[in-house]
Amino acid sequence: MRTEIVPVNAATLARAASLLRAGEVVAFPTETVYGLGANTFDAASVAKIFAAKARPADNPLISHIADLAQMDALVARVPEQARPLMAAFWPGPLTLIFQRAKGVPDIVSAGLSTVSVRMPAHPAAQALIRQAGCPIAAPSANRSGRPSPTTAEHVLADMDSRIPLILDGGPCGFGVESTVLDLTGDVPAILRPGGVTFEMLSPYLPGLQVDDAVLRPLQEGALARSPGMKHRHYAPRGQVVVLRGKPDAVALRTKALYDKALDEGKRVAILCSRALSGDYEGRQIRVLGADAGEMAANLYDALRGLDAEGMELILTEATDTGGMGLALMNRLLRAADFDVMDV
Ligand code: TXA
Ligand code: MG
């Protein structure tokens, strides 16, 4: 199959929508990361997503809507506490988990009794959903186990010859996936942190929890509330190590580890904040940004770049977990397979 990459405009949106209606999959931009979409209600089309990504069948997909009326066919019941969240944060990077309606194919929910829904804010995503005339089931448009794509080029690198069309809407604004919030349990819980932060949600949800698996490896025998948590994610081929401690100590140890690796003939790089970049003069560095939001937005592109350069060791700093820092640390820890060094 030839994969075409086209800029978003009226003609290409119409083409993408007609491919979706014909049962094909299409990659499209959202404000978080690029998605690989199919008609939620067409199980055979959704199966093509799993095949193109080589995604484990036990990992459910998010359905994307452009209109609240599309909820009716997806969700059995909207709990009271969801309404103000939908009003405040939709459209935007917040995914809500509900009890699913009967018509949702098993493959979308990976057999669970729940379904996850989000209303993306990106105009191209909204237009595509409207023109397709159905909710679009879409995971991130990467091969399973690779960092999520934040540009159309990232999608092409993973999906070339596996899908017919990529809508190119430029780089994604947030650069990390949506916040996943579970409202089906006794206590509301963030299963995956993202652009709608804990601090933004907690005024609406007293007792809001952050799931244990957000900053720690899933304990042996523990049930993954979000099946995605048990699969290794965001994994570059090289080893990633997160250094945690006072900035001076982190910089000192990072330099020592870098220089040692270089002596051993290893390809090594440092991923850092603007604040520490001055400490690493003469070394191979990538500055992610000045704050957690900027750092999160640039993380996946940096990991893909370092991977392409064949880096064997990537040293990076821990950030605090307030605001977007929680999403950034969640992704960094997973990229590092929880290899953290306290200094
Ligand atoms: O920002 C995003 O959410 C992007 C864009 C394309 O919208 N999508 C995305 O999808 O990140 P994906 O499939 O890569 O990640 C969805 C995560 C997975 O960890 C999955 O296990 C979890 O959400 N999830 C989906 N449905 C669920 C459900 N019913 N119960 C628990 N977890 C669910
Ligand atoms: Mg994904």
Categorize the per-residue pLDDT at 219 as very low, low, confident or very high, splitting at 50, 70 and 90: confident
Q: Is the CB of 195 under 6 A from ligand 1?
A: no
Q: Is the pLDDT of residue 220 over 80?
A: no
Average pLDDT, the chain: 96
Q: What is the pLDDT of residue 234?
A: 66
Query: By the 8 A CB rule, do 207 and 119 touch?
Result: no
Q: Using a 6 Å cutoff on CB, does residue 112 contact ligand 1? A: yes
- Per this entry, what is the length of the chain? 343
When pLDDT is cut at 50, 70 and 90, the band that residue 88 belongs to is: very high
> Which residues face 290 on adjacent strands?
none
pLDDT for res 289: 98
Mean pLDDT of 60-72: 98
Q: Which sign does the torsion angle of CA 82, 83, 86, 89 carry? A: negative
178 lines ligand 1 (CB under 6 A): yes
Other CB atoms within 10 Å distance of the CB of residue 338: 12
With a threshold of 0.95, does the pTM exceed it?
yes
Atom index in ligand 1 nearest the CA of residue 141 equals: 6
Tokens of residue 293, six digits: 């939001």
Residue pLDDT, tens place only, 170-216:
999 999 999 999 999 999 999 999 999 999 999 999 999 999 999 99
- The pLDDT of residue 225: 78
User: What is the band of 222 on the pLDDT scale with cuts at 50, 70, 90?
Assistant: confident
140 lines ligand 1 (CB under 6 A): yes
From the CA of 192, the nearest ligand is 1
pLDDT of 231 reads 64
The bound ligand whose nearest atom lies closest to the alpha carbon of 229 is 1
| Contact between residue 143 and residue 158 where contact means Cβ atoms under 8 Å apart | yes
* Ligand 1 centroid from CA 189, angstroms: 14
Find out whether the beta carbon of 184 lies less than 6 Å from any atom of ligand 1: no
The average pLDDT across 104-124 equals 98
Return residues with CB closer than 5 A to ligand 2 (ion): 139-140
Q: Could you report the per-residue pLDDT of 306-315, keeping only the tens digit for each? A: 999 999 999 9
The pLDDT, as a whole number, for residue 232 is: 62
pLDDT in tens, 230-281: 666 667 788 999 999 999 999 999 999 999 999 999 999 999 999 999 999 9
